[in-house]
Homo-oligomer: A and B are copies of this chain.
Amino acid sequence: MNVHRSCKSYDWESVPVLMYKEDGTHFKDITRRILFDGTTGIDAQLRYFEIQPGGYSTLESHEHVHQVLIIRGSGRALVGDSIIELKKLDCVEIKPQTWHQFQAGSEEPFGFLCLVAVDRDKPHRPTEADLVKLCSDDRIANFIRL
């Protein structure tokens, strides 16, 4: 049996806080924790991402699916061409090749579980042409952070 005790709010003993990504300036104030690592006969990883107020994840797309469950605070996300409000316990599925970006609100951390397959492709960021297309929609242009 492995037990990861939650030692304080949304932190766990023996679960390190990781950088969201190795490098880049296309995200802000976001951390990553791997709660279940996909090595136990379940070919999926459950990660916990937490975005501080004002922060955001990378605007990106990929073939693999994200299954997301909000467990802390609230925020917003671009998913495809929709901008959605997300609050605690909402579930959202990010389908393949769908532009997406998560953003925290201004007041509290925004935390969510994200389930992915262990075997998955790398995300890609929008090209200039993708950005022109995305930004032809004013709502999206005003939402995204690069």
Q: Given A1-B93, A95-B1, is A115 in contact with B84 using a C-beta cutoff of 8 Å? A: no
A contact face: mostly helix, strand, loop, or mixed: strand
A residues 58-99 touching B (CB-CB < 8 Å)? 64-65, 67, 69, 71, 79-80, 82, 84, 87-96, 98
Residues in B whose Cβ lies below 8 Å from that of A79: 1
Q: Which of B9, B15, B36, B93 contacts A40 (CB 8 A)?
A: B93
Partner among B5, B6, B15, B93 whose Cβ is within 8 Å of the Cβ of A2: B93
A140 interfacial contact with B, CB 8 Å: no
20 new A-B pairs (CB below 8 Å) besides A1-B80, A1-B94, A2-B92? A1-B92, A1-B93, A1-B95, A1-B98, A4-B90, A6-B89, A6-B91, A15-B91, A35-B67, A35-B69, A40-B65, A41-B65, A41-B96, A42-B44, A42-B67, A42-B117, A43-B43, A44-B115, A46-B67, A113-B113
